[in-house]
Structure 1
Amino acid sequence: MTEPATFVIVGGGLAAAKGAEALRQEGFDGTIVLIGREPHLPYERPPLSKGYLQGDDERDTIFVHDADWYRDHAIDVRTGAEATALDPAAHEVTLSSGERLRYDKLLLATGAVPRRLNVPGGERVLYLRTVDDSDRLRATLSSARKVAVIGAGWIGLEAAAAARNAGADVTVIEQEHQPLLGALGPELGAVFADLHRDNGVDLRLGARLAEVTDTGVRLADGTHADADAVIAGVGAVPDTALAAAAGLEIDNGVKVTADLRTSDPDIYAAGDVANAYHPRHRHHIRVEHWANALNQPAVAARAMLGRDASYEEPPYFYTDQYDLGMEYLGHVPPGTTYEVAIRGDVGRREFIAFWLGEDDRVLAAMNVNIWDQGDHLKALVLSGAPVDRKALTDPDVPLGHLVR
């Protein structure tokens, strides 16, 4: 193909930076303009609720590239510039400055935004999505004696662990009967419930928030939890406003094909905002995880250059809480009948969990404080072959022997 003159990337996170990087690696020598709403260069978000929040990681480590890299690769980075309108027919994006920027191909990497609490006093709540949010929360945790966390998902639990490590008394309020119920199910959710209770967290399950007060939070049952600070981690929603206003197809995010093309042939999407068709699973998947933001942009870049490309990586995410490190690989579609098989010692939090479908195929696997097995776990998930359950749960049988 004749390479277009200008590619525009809308977004300021990992997916945006990796999109620019991949285009240059694929040999595109035209103009690349990256438009980021925040005043910072593109950065990674996982450290914001982990090492950076707890003071273990320096600020410089969160950025995907430094300013010199963008200059050396001729990437025109517009920080603090918001894309306010997108006109697919004219191939133009309008910036907050009023500038209208023409593009030949465009990559949407607008990510997701935190779901907000709609309760009295909700304006007092802290959220965690941006580096500025993390800085604000970090400063708060340096002096807060009591912290309430609303939501026991990944962000909520990581924030709770950070608050406990900072010395605060922590109360976690979760409306489900286990943490991480939607992500892991009740059996593995209980592992994280025990982890936080063992670290001194007051975990209130099956509880609903009614109000944020001057001195903490009031629950629907009338009880009150004292808190100097309230943090909400109740999920996120894809940032589709720009795409929706432009008439792109929206369905739990910006709907894209396996090569990350939207309903407009010259616009692509990657990362948290993209609901991508997965050839292996034969349906669309949108997950708000680091691995998609890391790996999808290379596929999008190839497709933007007219080359064959398809995103087929299994979903992957990880967490670090207290002395527990975990990696999860695979996908269990909602409504799937499955059983969980365990290899190792759950009580010691050193184990591997396998989600097995009705035909004994490994749908997903999670390693907890057991390392150097990632390649075998990925091979088991990708093989699609039935496994011997007895051998799968026997630590004396090497996982490599089970891969077909």
Structure 2
Amino acid sequence: MAEPQRIVIVGTGLAGASAAGELRATGFTGQVTIIGADSHRPYELPALSKGILLGDAEEPDWVHDEDFYQKNDVELLLSTSVREIALGDRVVVDGSGTRYPFDRLLLATGSRPRVLPVPGADLAGLHTLRSLDDSRALLAALRSGGRVVVAGGGWIGCEVAAAARKHGCEVTVVERLPLPLHPVLGDTVAAVFRDLHEQNGVVWRLGVGVAEFTGEQGKITGVRLDGGELLPADVVVVAIGAVPRVELAHAAGLELSDSVPGGGVDTDAGLRTSAPDVYAAGDIAAHFHPRYGRRLRVEHWANAKDPGTHVAGNLLGAAEPYTASPYFFSDQYDLGMEVRGLANPFRDQLVVRGDLAAREFIAFWLRDGAVHAAMNVNMWDDGDALQAMVDKQVVVEPRQLEQADLAGMVG
């Protein structure tokens, strides 16, 4: 496969910018163009629901310094929408009709927040959180205090609730499931997060959904639940997940996936799509993972940064599979945690090392005796061992995990 001369990246998020950086770091001297609708240069998303929303940081973590793009001859086109990908002509067409020829193309278009299709969804005071502008607008609203209702008890919903409490807001979280984070953590560990928020003043409405948003003069005033209860609200945050932006890929004729939640763009182990010179990374990629033997679509930070870096080599002609384990971290109040791997908490065996009540523990999820996922909460000494155990799917006796030296189990 001949080395390309023109690489176009659609999407100015972490995945696309990481790929561009790695292309230059490995010595690629051809043309690199990044196109995206955001008005800000590429940034990482975690700070949007953490440092910025807490008021501890004024800016996100930028993927590269401001002068990186000019110094490295990377054409960065911000505030630029893409209208079409014409695979037959090998061009990307922007909203004004400008055409960008490519030899290789990387799609890294990310996700958009899910919305609740209920009456009142257009009222002022209703927020979602996906962009830097979203985060800054929500921070301003939280600093005004008042009554905040968060629809959704996932990671973003929990982090928003923690930030709102720091700013002195009254906070209620509405979640249809019986516990926050229930699908990813299961009963025992999810209860830790429920109790954490309760102890910090959050009120839960669990097992119930949102029926409508109420308002006066175009401004939100409340959230009505399925059972009829009306929660007064000055600010409402909808945090019910995200939808991959696959419209361009679909219109271009690329194969999409129906085997992962929310769909995505099918890629092989090397992140190549159904079109030989077109790749996908980040939130949109339904990537075939060799270790798991199935497609995964993961929306977390590491699944933008690491595949973005990895795919650069494949854009230049390699065919290396991406095999890293999924990774995620969260900070809420005085709780910090990391998760490695993929658990099915309703099938896997849970083993806990440490003290759940004190929120200092490591949770392991075992399948057929092998470690498939591990989560450390306020315990930071064994990160490398946990990573190796998950990567190698180490087979252990449950009692060993409770007390034995973890590094010694890796071999």
Q: TM-score range by the shorter chain?
A: over 0.9
1:259 is matched with 270
Which structure 2 residue ranges, 5 or more long, are not aligned? Answer: 216-220, 258-262
Contact kept? 2:121, 2:213, Cα under 8 Å: yes
**Aligned-residue CA RMSD (Å):** 1.2
Alignment of 1:64-213 (within 5 A): 64-124=63-123, 125-213=126-214
**C-alpha distance in 2, partners of 1:385/1:152?**
32
Provide the C-alpha distance between the structure 1 equivalents of 2:199 and 2:371, rounded to a whole number of angstroms. Answer: 31
How many Å separate the matches in 1 of 2:322 and 2:184? 22
Which amino acid is the alignment partner of residue 240 of structure 1?
V
SS of the counterpart of 1:52?
helix
Structure 2 residue 360 is the aligned partner of structure 1 residue 350: yes
Deviations along 1:270-292, one digit per CA (max 9) or x if unpaired, are 01111101011111111100001
Check conservation: 2:2, 2:317, Cα contact below 8 A.
no
1:224-239 equivalence runs, <5 A: 224-239=230-245
- The number of equivalent residue pairs is 399
Alignment of 1:2-401 (within 5 A): 2-59=2-59, 61-124=60-123, 125-214=126-215, 215-251=221-257, 252-332=263-343, 337-357=347-367, 359-394=368-403, 397-401=404-408
Q: Is the contact made by 1:253 and 1:274 (CA closer than 8 Å) also made in structure 2? A: yes
SS at 1:300's partner residue? helix
Amino acid at match of 1:390: R
| CA distance in structure 1 between the aligned counterparts of 2:185 and 2:55, rounded to whole angstroms | 28
Q: Distance between the aligned counterparts of 2:309 and 2:44, measured in 1?
A: 16
The alpha carbon displacement at 1:337 in A equals: 2.2
Q: 1:277 to 1:104 in 2, by over 3 A?
A: same
In 1, distance between residues paired with 2:56 and 2:394? 42
Q: CA deviation at 1:333?
A: 5.4
Please tell me whether the aligned partners of residues 3 and 30 of structure 1 are also in contact (alpha carbons under 8 angstroms).
Answer: no
Shift of 1:58: 2.7
Report the 3-state secondary structure (helix = DSSP H, G, I; strand = E; otherwise coil) of the residue aligned with 2:64: coil
Amino acid aligned to 1:134: S
Contact 2:179 2:190 in 1 (8 A): yes
- Residue pair 2:338, 2:377 contacting (<8 A) in 1 also: yes
Moved more, 303-312 or 339-348: 303-312
| Residue 23 of structure 1: how far off its partner (Å) | 0.9
Deviation (angstroms), 1:123: 1.3
Alpha-carbon distance in 2 for matches of 1:105, 1:332: 35
CA offsets 1:56-87 (integer angstroms, 9 cap, x no match): 1231x421113311111100000000111101
Look up the SS of the partner of 1:58 in the other structure. Answer: coil
What percent identity do the matched residue pairs reach? 48
Provide the C-alpha distance between the structure 1 equivalents of 2:278 and 2:230, rounded to a whole number of angstroms: 49
Note the alpha carbon deviations across 1:2-37, whole angstroms, 9 max, x for none: 322210000011111101001112221000000011
Contact 1:47 1:53 in 2 (8 A): yes
Verify the 8 A CA contact 2:350 2:365 in the aligned structure 1.
yes
TM-score normalised to the size of structure 1?
0.97
Supply the distance in 2 between the matched residues of 1:343 and 1:280 (Cα, whole angstroms).
26
In the alignment, the residues of structure 2 paired with residue 269 and residue 298 of structure 1 have an alpha-carbon distance, to the nearest angstrom, of 12
Please tell me the residue identity of whatever aligns with 1:22: E
Are 1:402 and 2:409 counterparts?
Answer: yes
| AA in 1 matched with 2:239 | G
Q: TM-score when scaled to structure 2?
A: 0.95
Q: Which runs of 5+ in 1 are unaligned?
A: none
Cα deviation per residue 1:330-388 (whole Å; 9 max; x = unaligned)? 01359x7211100000000000000011x211110000000021110011112233202
Partner Cα distance (2:172, 2:379) in 1: 29
- Secondary structure of 1:42's counterpart equals coil
For the 8 Å contact 1:150–1:173, the answer to whether it is kept is: yes
Structure 2: which amino acid aligns with 1:65? H
Which one-letter code corresponds to 1:212 in the other structure?
A: F
